[in-house]
Structure 1
Amino acid sequence: MTESRLVRQFAHTLRHERERAGLTQQALAARAGLSQAAVARIERGDRLPSLTTAERLLTALDRQLRIEVEPLDDHLDAALDTTAGTGGSAG
Protein backbone atom coordinates (compact mmCIF):
# COMPACT_ATOMS: atom_id res chain seq x y z
CA MET A 1 0.00 0.00 0.00
CA THR A 2 1.25 3.48 -0.85
CA GLU A 3 1.92 5.60 2.25
CA SER A 4 0.99 9.00 0.89
CA ARG A 5 -1.43 11.37 2.62
CA LEU A 6 -2.78 12.38 -0.78
CA VAL A 7 -3.44 8.74 -1.73
CA ARG A 8 -5.27 8.13 1.57
CA GLN A 9 -7.32 11.30 1.24
CA PHE A 10 -8.38 10.56 -2.32
CA ALA A 11 -9.18 6.93 -1.47
CA HIS A 12 -11.36 7.99 1.47
CA THR A 13 -13.09 10.74 -0.50
CA LEU A 14 -13.82 8.51 -3.48
CA ARG A 15 -15.31 5.76 -1.34
CA HIS A 16 -17.35 8.27 0.69
CA GLU A 17 -18.76 9.93 -2.43
CA ARG A 18 -19.50 6.58 -4.10
CA GLU A 19 -21.35 5.32 -1.04
CA ARG A 20 -23.19 8.65 -0.68
CA ALA A 21 -24.36 8.22 -4.27
CA GLY A 22 -25.54 4.69 -3.47
CA LEU A 23 -23.31 3.10 -6.11
CA THR A 24 -21.34 -0.11 -6.05
CA GLN A 25 -17.76 -0.15 -7.25
CA GLN A 26 -18.99 -1.96 -10.36
CA ALA A 27 -21.60 0.74 -11.11
CA LEU A 28 -19.07 3.55 -10.63
CA ALA A 29 -16.55 1.73 -12.80
CA ALA A 30 -19.11 1.35 -15.58
CA ARG A 31 -20.01 5.06 -15.44
CA ALA A 32 -16.34 6.08 -15.49
CA GLY A 33 -15.23 3.58 -18.14
CA LEU A 34 -12.94 1.69 -15.78
CA SER A 35 -12.80 -1.80 -14.34
CA GLN A 36 -14.19 -2.59 -10.90
CA ALA A 37 -10.71 -3.80 -9.94
CA ALA A 38 -9.24 -0.38 -10.76
CA VAL A 39 -11.84 1.37 -8.59
CA ALA A 40 -11.13 -1.09 -5.76
CA ARG A 41 -7.36 -0.46 -5.96
CA ILE A 42 -7.91 3.30 -5.84
CA GLU A 43 -10.34 3.05 -2.90
CA ARG A 44 -7.91 0.81 -0.98
CA GLY A 45 -5.15 3.35 -1.51
CA ASP A 46 -3.05 0.91 -3.50
CA ARG A 47 -2.59 3.53 -6.20
CA LEU A 48 -3.28 7.18 -6.88
CA PRO A 49 -5.14 7.66 -10.16
CA SER A 50 -3.94 10.03 -12.83
CA LEU A 51 -5.68 13.39 -12.81
CA THR A 52 -7.62 12.32 -15.90
CA THR A 53 -8.85 9.16 -14.18
CA ALA A 54 -9.68 11.05 -10.98
CA GLU A 55 -11.69 13.52 -13.03
CA ARG A 56 -13.56 10.68 -14.81
CA LEU A 57 -14.41 9.04 -11.48
CA LEU A 58 -15.59 12.25 -9.87
CA THR A 59 -17.57 13.30 -12.94
CA ALA A 60 -19.33 9.93 -12.80
CA LEU A 61 -20.32 10.91 -9.23
CA ASP A 62 -21.44 14.39 -10.32
CA ARG A 63 -18.51 15.91 -8.45
CA GLN A 64 -15.44 17.89 -9.44
CA LEU A 65 -11.89 17.96 -8.17
CA ARG A 66 -10.65 21.08 -6.40
CA ILE A 67 -6.95 21.46 -5.73
CA GLU A 68 -5.59 23.74 -3.04
CA VAL A 69 -2.05 24.48 -1.92
CA GLU A 70 -1.14 25.17 1.68
CA PRO A 71 2.10 25.51 3.62
CA LEU A 72 3.71 22.18 4.43
CA ASP A 73 2.25 20.71 7.63
CA ASP A 74 -0.35 23.50 7.84
CA HIS A 75 -2.97 20.83 8.61
CA LEU A 76 -0.92 19.87 11.69
CA ASP A 77 -0.85 23.48 12.91
CA ALA A 78 -4.63 23.69 12.56
CA ALA A 79 -5.10 20.41 14.44
CA LEU A 80 -2.84 21.64 17.25
CA ASP A 81 -4.73 24.95 17.43
CA THR A 82 -8.03 23.07 17.68
CA THR A 83 -6.69 20.74 20.36
CA ALA A 84 -5.30 23.67 22.34
CA GLY A 85 -8.62 25.51 21.99
CA THR A 86 -7.06 28.55 20.32
CA GLY A 87 -8.89 28.17 17.02
CA GLY A 88 -5.87 29.49 15.20
CA SER A 89 -7.13 33.06 14.81
CA ALA A 90 -6.13 36.27 16.51
CA GLY A 91 -8.85 37.75 18.65
Structure 2
Amino acid sequence: MNTKSISQILRTEWFLIGVLLLLTAIEFGVALTLTGALLLLCLLIIGLVKAGLIIQYFMHFGQLWKNITDIWWGILLTSEEEE
Protein backbone atom coordinates (compact mmCIF):
# COMPACT_ATOMS: atom_id res chain seq x y z
CA MET A 1 0.00 0.00 0.00
CA ASN A 2 1.24 3.45 -0.86
CA THR A 3 1.53 5.58 2.27
CA LYS A 4 2.82 8.78 0.66
CA SER A 5 0.89 11.94 1.41
CA ILE A 6 -0.40 14.17 -1.34
CA SER A 7 2.21 16.81 -0.53
CA GLN A 8 5.01 14.24 -0.94
CA ILE A 9 3.59 13.09 -4.27
CA LEU A 10 3.23 16.67 -5.52
CA ARG A 11 6.76 17.50 -4.40
CA THR A 12 8.10 14.50 -6.33
CA GLU A 13 6.10 15.39 -9.44
CA TRP A 14 7.23 19.03 -9.41
CA PHE A 15 10.82 17.91 -8.93
CA LEU A 16 10.49 15.61 -11.96
CA ILE A 17 8.99 18.41 -14.03
CA GLY A 18 12.01 20.52 -13.11
CA VAL A 19 14.39 17.71 -14.07
CA LEU A 20 12.61 17.27 -17.41
CA LEU A 21 12.80 21.02 -18.02
CA LEU A 22 16.52 20.98 -17.24
CA LEU A 23 17.09 18.02 -19.57
CA THR A 24 15.18 19.84 -22.31
CA ALA A 25 17.41 22.90 -21.87
CA ILE A 26 20.48 20.65 -22.04
CA GLU A 27 19.08 19.05 -25.19
CA PHE A 28 18.66 22.49 -26.75
CA GLY A 29 22.22 23.45 -25.87
CA VAL A 30 23.59 20.20 -27.23
CA ALA A 31 21.63 20.65 -30.47
CA LEU A 32 23.14 24.10 -30.96
CA THR A 33 26.74 23.16 -30.20
CA LEU A 34 27.38 19.62 -31.44
CA THR A 35 27.22 18.11 -34.92
CA GLY A 36 27.35 14.72 -36.55
CA ALA A 37 27.28 11.40 -34.76
CA LEU A 38 28.07 12.92 -31.37
CA LEU A 39 24.96 15.10 -31.65
CA LEU A 40 22.83 12.08 -32.46
CA LEU A 41 24.30 10.04 -29.62
CA CYS A 42 23.82 12.79 -27.02
CA LEU A 43 20.25 13.55 -28.09
CA LEU A 44 19.41 9.84 -28.09
CA ILE A 45 20.75 9.34 -24.57
CA ILE A 46 19.01 12.43 -23.19
CA GLY A 47 15.77 11.44 -24.94
CA LEU A 48 15.89 7.93 -23.49
CA VAL A 49 16.49 9.30 -20.00
CA LYS A 50 13.52 11.65 -20.37
CA ALA A 51 11.32 8.85 -21.73
CA GLY A 52 12.31 6.59 -18.85
CA LEU A 53 11.40 9.24 -16.29
CA ILE A 54 8.03 9.88 -17.92
CA ILE A 55 7.20 6.19 -18.18
CA GLN A 56 8.30 5.40 -14.64
CA TYR A 57 6.70 8.27 -12.76
CA PHE A 58 3.85 9.71 -14.83
CA MET A 59 2.61 6.54 -16.51
CA HIS A 60 3.03 4.49 -13.29
CA PHE A 61 4.91 1.71 -15.08
CA GLY A 62 6.60 0.73 -11.81
CA GLN A 63 3.25 -0.30 -10.38
CA LEU A 64 2.73 -2.73 -13.25
CA TRP A 65 5.78 -4.79 -12.28
CA LYS A 66 4.33 -5.42 -8.82
CA ASN A 67 1.50 -7.43 -10.38
CA ILE A 68 3.15 -8.77 -13.53
CA THR A 69 3.22 -12.38 -12.30
CA ASP A 70 -0.53 -12.28 -11.69
CA ILE A 71 -1.07 -11.02 -15.23
CA TRP A 72 1.03 -13.82 -16.74
CA TRP A 73 -0.70 -16.47 -14.64
CA GLY A 74 -4.04 -15.09 -15.84
CA ILE A 75 -2.92 -15.30 -19.45
CA LEU A 76 -1.55 -18.83 -19.07
CA LEU A 77 -4.53 -20.22 -17.20
CA THR A 78 -7.18 -18.74 -19.48
CA SER A 79 -5.61 -19.58 -22.84
CA GLU A 80 -7.26 -22.36 -24.78
CA GLU A 81 -5.23 -25.20 -26.19
CA GLU A 82 -5.51 -25.80 -29.92
CA GLU A 83 -6.01 -29.31 -31.24
Larger helix proportion, structure 1 or 2? 2
User: What TM-score, normalized to structure 2?
Assistant: 0.29
Which protein has the larger Cα radius of gyration, Structure 1 or Structure 2?
A: 2
User: What TM-score, normalized to structure 1?
Assistant: 0.27
